[in-house]
């Protein structure tokens, strides 16, 4: 009997080179320079002018005399760690950049962002060395109890090359799974910045576009939505879409009756409620229907859900905002997973909506 073949299995070389470069660039919140430069460089190579503001938001603009003005924004920063202290065993104590689960850190490879970067690992006491009646091994560790080991022999040696405050990221990588799915740390929200860039590239060639379009790769989302607020105040668009990831509720440990029914492979999701203005929601729904784009909907009744649209809509006296999301599994871990078809649907949706304005 022949083995069944898995559909649409990509290889790393078949993934967009731009997306691959974005995923391999280091850039935790507050230290986004490398990833932001990658994003700007790619658009400049496509003939689309870009600029960076004071704190590093990257902004691309097309059809500058068009109306209305529209901002498509996604954040380029990722979660990470920071060197807090070096202990007497020449191991690095860390603080978190953004929200992290200590359990997801154990056994991971990391890069300490020195020049050149240092490869490190986050280890834990072996199970062999636990007493039979000791339950410490089942205890969830505190972040301050974890250590990064870069192989240093002494505290003094390490202090010379790793200053306090140095950022640390998961080992950058991109792996291809079955069914057009990819796995990488930082898909939240590098996939959104890729979608925004691909959308503005297509819109730059459109003969239907009447609006002025800003594409923004914002900074410091994971530590407070700061870049989105700055960009909104600076650009003051008439309309805006925040483009982010959302939780895919399609693994056995998540209850749909509690968390909703967003899944991988069923298209991009749009937010309903909260910061998503009804006018924008209707426009996205009509654009999806007219262009035959399959979308999912997510109930987002709160305006404090941690999405960048939550920062955008309350600036400048109120910007009409909406939320477009790519479903993602295992958020804020080194093994985030998305299905590329959903990201492509998000691009199609943004292009159709902008062309219809």
Q: Which residues are catalytic?
A: 221
| HEC assignment per residue over the chain | CCCCCCCCCCCHHHCCHHHHHHHHCCCECCCCHHHHHHHHHHHHHCCCCEEECCCCCEEEEECCCCCCEEEEEEECCECEEEEEEECCCCCEEEEEECCCCHHHHCCCEEEECCCCCEEEEECCCCHHHCCCCCCHHHCCCCHHHCEEECCCCCHHHHHHHCCCCCEEEECCCCEECCCCEEEECCHHHHHHHHHHHHHHHHHHCCCCCCCEEEEEEECCCCCCCHHHHHHHHHHCCCEEEEEEEEECCCCCCCCHHHHCCCCCCCCEEEEEECCECHHHHHHHHHHHHHCCCCEEEEECCCCCCCCCHHHHCCCCCCCEEEEEEEEEECCCCCCEEEEHHHHHHHHHHHHHHHHCC
**57 touches 74 (CB < 8 A):** no
CB atoms < 10 A from the CB of 76, how many?
Answer: 34
Report the DSSP pairing between strands 336-339 and 118-122.
unpaired
CB atoms < 10 A from the CB of 355, how many?
Answer: 17
**101 Cβ contact list (under 8 Å, min separation 6):** 332, 333
**286 touches 317 (CB < 8 A):** no
Rounded-to-integer distance, Cα 35 and Cα 33, Å: 6
The structure tokens 């658009």 sit at 43
Tokens of 292: 């035959």
């Amino acid at each position: 009997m022949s083995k069944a073949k898995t559909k649409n299995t990509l290889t790393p070389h078949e993934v967009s080179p731009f997306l691959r470069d974005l995923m391999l660039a280091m850039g935790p919140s507050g230290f986004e320079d490398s990833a932001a430069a990658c994003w700007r460089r790619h658009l400049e190579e496509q003939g689309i002018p870009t600029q960076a503001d004071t704190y590093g938001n990257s902004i691309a603009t097309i059809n500058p005399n068009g109306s209305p003005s529209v901002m498509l924004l996604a954040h380029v920063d990722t979660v990470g760690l920071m060197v807090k202290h070096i202990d007497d065993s020449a191991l690095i104590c860390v603080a978190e950049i953004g929200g992290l689960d200590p359990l997801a850190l154990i056994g991971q490879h990391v890069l300490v962002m020195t020049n050149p970067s240092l490869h490190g690992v986050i280890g834990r006491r072996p199970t062999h060395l636990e007493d039979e009646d000791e339950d410490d091994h089942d205890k969830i560790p505190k972040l301050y109890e974890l250590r990064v080991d870069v192989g240093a022999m002494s505290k003094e040696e390490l202090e010379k090359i790793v200053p306090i405050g140095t950022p640390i990221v998961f080992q950058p990588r991109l792996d291809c799974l079955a069914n057009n799915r990819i796995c990488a740390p930082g898909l939240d929200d590098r996939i959104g910045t890729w979608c925004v860039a691909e959308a503005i590239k297509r819109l730059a060639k459109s003969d239907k576009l009447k609006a002025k379009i800003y594409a923004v790769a914002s900074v410091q989302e994971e530590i407070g939505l700061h870049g989105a607020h700055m960009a909104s105040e600076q650009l003051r668009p008439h309309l805006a879409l925040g483009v982010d990831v959302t939780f895919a509720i399609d693994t056995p440990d998540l209850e749909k009756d509690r968390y909703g029914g967003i899944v991988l492979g069923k298209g991009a999701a749009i937010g309903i409620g909260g910061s998503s203005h009804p006018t924008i929601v209707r426009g996205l729904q009509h654009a999806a229907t007219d262009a035959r784009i399959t979308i999912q909907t997510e109930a987002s009744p709160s305006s404090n859900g941690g999405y960048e649209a939550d920062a955008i809509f309350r600036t400048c006296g109120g910007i009409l905002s909406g939320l477009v999301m790519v479903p993602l599994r295992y958020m804020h871990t080194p093994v985030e997973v998305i299905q590329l078809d959903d990201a492509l649907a998000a691009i199609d949706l943004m292009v159709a909506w902008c062309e219809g304005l």
